[in-house]
Structure 1
Amino acid sequence: MYVAVKGGERAIENAHAWLAEERRGDRDIAELSIAQIREQLKLAVDRVMAEGSLYDPDLAALAIKQARGDLIEAIFLIRAYRTTLPRFGASRPVSTGAMACDRRISATFKDLPGGQVLGPTFDYTHRLLDFKLAADGEVPEAPRAAKAQPAEMPHVTGFLNREGLIEEAPAEDTTPPDLTREPLEIPAGRALRLQALARADEGFTLGLAYSTQRGYARNHAFVGELRIGTVAVEMDIPELGFAIEIGELTLTECETVNQFKGSKTEPPQFTRGYGLVFGQSERKAISMALVDRALRWEELGEDFIGAPAQDAEFVLYHADNIQATGFLEHIKLPHYVDFQAELELVRKMRSEVTDANPAREAAE
């Protein structure tokens, strides 16, 4: 650390004070509140919760404020805080089939039970700057559909499953390992891969997913279904002998339907890719589903064609933005001794070359 430099501790304290001053900004402008960040920068809050592996909008908003809007730094803060929390137990798997959907679309079936629900989306906006927002104008309330949603919205892939045209959803009987408590090990089962992808950097996952669409994995996908909404979280209470609802989560779920011509072990059929993340994060959920499908090449008996998205070790070890940030940013810390050793080595090698070739020294 910089404390190795004379006066380093005082310099660090001053740097922290300067950082706080920069974070506050112009004091003539009202300070940004946690509630404002939580309510008006919701997609940023959702990303911090998803990649920080902690569902708490208020804490995510606080982390964004403390990090001056640097989402990776905010994710780091949330993960660090998460390690201090006690664990009281584990919840039951949530039922996304019973999700109260704010948005639910399918690119494979036009008419489906429950219908298409466009919900809040950028998909149909013109991507033009709205200068009304700069004037702080009032936003009209969106009309709400009078028709009540059905209690259950069955997953679209179930329709294909009736005809046997899509693989059965792979299931693992054993309790999956917890990536937040145990280090990642390769080879990794699908449950562990999905955990890693759920908290992976959105940009990295997006780039890998895009590569699969450009041919680096032979992965032609349709969005079977994309849904965003709230689900109940239930927990078994041993003293009571039954489960109780302890809260609700907002989730984004994506199931992709992928072409598959068959292999030596599997018949021609459609296959699945799956993505599930905290909050509203469509881009991340779709990207996750595409990468999940690419990583399943071996279990489906496909050939490995050397695509980056097919390489589990490459994907999983480089997808975590906190690990990547730590390793990358450590090089800006003092490496005086290491560099002096490198400097002496280069000088020695240059000297040996010069001694072996005096004519070169003369030419220089």
Structure 2
Amino acid sequence: MYVAVKGGERAIEASWRLLDKARRGDPQLAELSVAQIRAQLRLAVARVMTEGSVYDEELAALAIKQAAGDLVEAIFLLRAYRTTLPRFGYTKPVDTEDMQVERRISATFKDVPGGQMLGATYDYTQRLLDFALLAEGSDESDVHAKPAQHAAQETMPRVVSLLDKERLIEQERVTDNAPEPGDLSREPLSFPASRATRLQNLARGDEGFLLAMGYATQRGYAHSHPFAGEIRFGTVAVEMELDELGEAVEIGEIDVTECQMINQFAGSSDVPPAFTQGYGLAFGHCERKAMAMALVDRALRAEELGETIGSPTQDVEFVLSHSDNVEASGFVQHLKLPHYVDFQAELELVRRLRAKHAARDASIDGNDTEEQAA
């Protein structure tokens, strides 16, 4: 808190009132409801849920409203609320191959089992402002969004399975004796970090940061040449094993975006060449985030794949330590807090050094004058 600011608590309380007023905006306009944000700003809601580590569309929409549209602040709010929630168990890993797909594309094969599904996307729009939206009215009703009803759909096998049949791509196999992945939401980040930990970090990481890192890998700052093997968005079932029943039961459904990036092949005299891959998974419809995550995941596997680490995009500690926007925002914004004592110490030091510098110059000038007089 700004306890050292002149005015103390009264100034802070006045700041809160001004914040509420600024958030509300023009009172003559209808107030934006949480239900409207949830239904109409779905991409913003998806990002806040993903980086806030809480799958709850209503809470994410509430955070966006409270933060006046500042998504990083909204992520901070949701992440803070998450720490108050009890943990009563873990779900089973979701099976994205059984996804009820709403959108699914591949840049590597034109014809894939199940076909290409373009779905709702900005990819094929002209990126021109639609001024017709200015004339649209607003629905002021505060009706909660109803979950979409999904029709029965055949399972769409992953595109990489086509390559896997010919053993042309690596596949990570889960063994019975594999260690349980850590929980980054409860355990501090430490190094060396397993791939499971890295993927958790990247999922919670700032989309802009990952986008920049992913872009850097494409510009040559990693030994990688990516192809979008498959990007899919849809609904997956969430199951949890209950000891009382002795079996897993479905406790709900969530929307997720998954990206599998096919990358430059690797091989040796002992191992036949095969494509490698990067992986990305995010809550809701977050294609850009999932793609950037997959690019960065592949770059961070450099040491594992025997590649030379020659850029920050391949440096695990650099990327993971700077990807979290909550930590980054806090560290940057703490500069707004009073640093009077620190600055005064620096100021006094500079003044003493300048005084010494001036005295030395005066001494040199005096000696020069004496020599000229002689």
- Asked if these proteins are the same fold (TM beyond 0.5), I'd say yes
Structure 2 unpaired stretches of 5+: 139-150, 367-374
- Give the deviation of 1:165 after TM superposition: 0.8
Identical pairs, percent: 64
- Residue in 2 that maps onto 1:185: 190
Distance in 2 between residues matched to 1:66 and 1:328, nearest whole Å: 21
- Residue in 2 that maps onto 1:165: 168
Question: For the structure 1 residues 253 and 361, does the alpha-carbon distance in structure 2 shift closer, same or farther, using more than 3 Å as the test?
Answer: farther
1:74 correspondence with 2:61: no
Distance in 1 between residues matched to 2:363 and 2:166, nearest whole Å: 81
Residues 223, 307 of structure 2: 8 Å contact kept: no
Question: For the structure 1 residues 334 and 137, does the alpha-carbon distance in structure 2 shift closer, same or farther, using more than 3 Å as the test?
Answer: closer
- Give the deviation of 1:352 after TM superposition: 1.9
1:226 correspondence with 2:222: no
- Residue in 2 that maps onto 1:144: none
Distance in 2 between residues matched to 1:360 and 1:327, nearest whole Å: 45
- Give the deviation of 1:354 after TM superposition: 2.0
Distance in 1 between residues matched to 2:179 and 2:269, nearest whole Å: 27
Distance in 1 between residues matched to 2:75 and 2:42, nearest whole Å: 15
Name the SS for the 2:262 alignment partner.
strand
- Residue in 2 that maps onto 1:328: 332
Distance in 1 between residues matched to 2:153 and 2:41, nearest whole Å: 30
TM-score, normalised to structure 1, is 0.94
- Give the deviation of 1:186 after TM superposition: 1.2
Distance in 1 between residues matched to 2:360 and 2:173, nearest whole Å: 66
Structure 1 residues 47-62: aligned runs within 5 Å = 47-62=47-62
**Count of residues in correspondence between the two structures:** 355
- Residue in 2 that maps onto 1:214: 219
Residues 104, 119 of structure 1: 8 Å contact kept: yes
- Residue in 1 that maps onto 2:120: 120
- Give the deviation of 1:302 after TM superposition: 1.2
- Give the deviation of 1:282 after TM superposition: 0.4
- Give the deviation of 1:6 after TM superposition: 4.1
- Residue in 2 that maps onto 1:309: 313
Structure 1 residues 216-295: aligned runs within 5 Å = 216-263=221-268, 266-295=271-300
- Give the deviation of 1:115 after TM superposition: 0.7
Name the SS for the 1:112 alignment partner.
coil
- Residue in 2 that maps onto 1:145: none
Output the aligned Cα RMSD.
Answer: 2.0
Distance in 2 between residues matched to 1:295 and 1:3, nearest whole Å: 42
Choose 199-208 or 3-12, whichever is displaced more. 3-12
Question: For the structure 1 residues 245 and 76, does the alpha-carbon distance in structure 2 shift closer, same or farther, using more than 3 Å as the test?
Answer: same
- Give the deviation of 1:359 after TM superposition: 6.0
- Give the deviation of 1:55 after TM superposition: 0.3
Residues 158, 230 of structure 2: 8 Å contact kept: yes
TM-score, normalised to structure 2, is 0.91
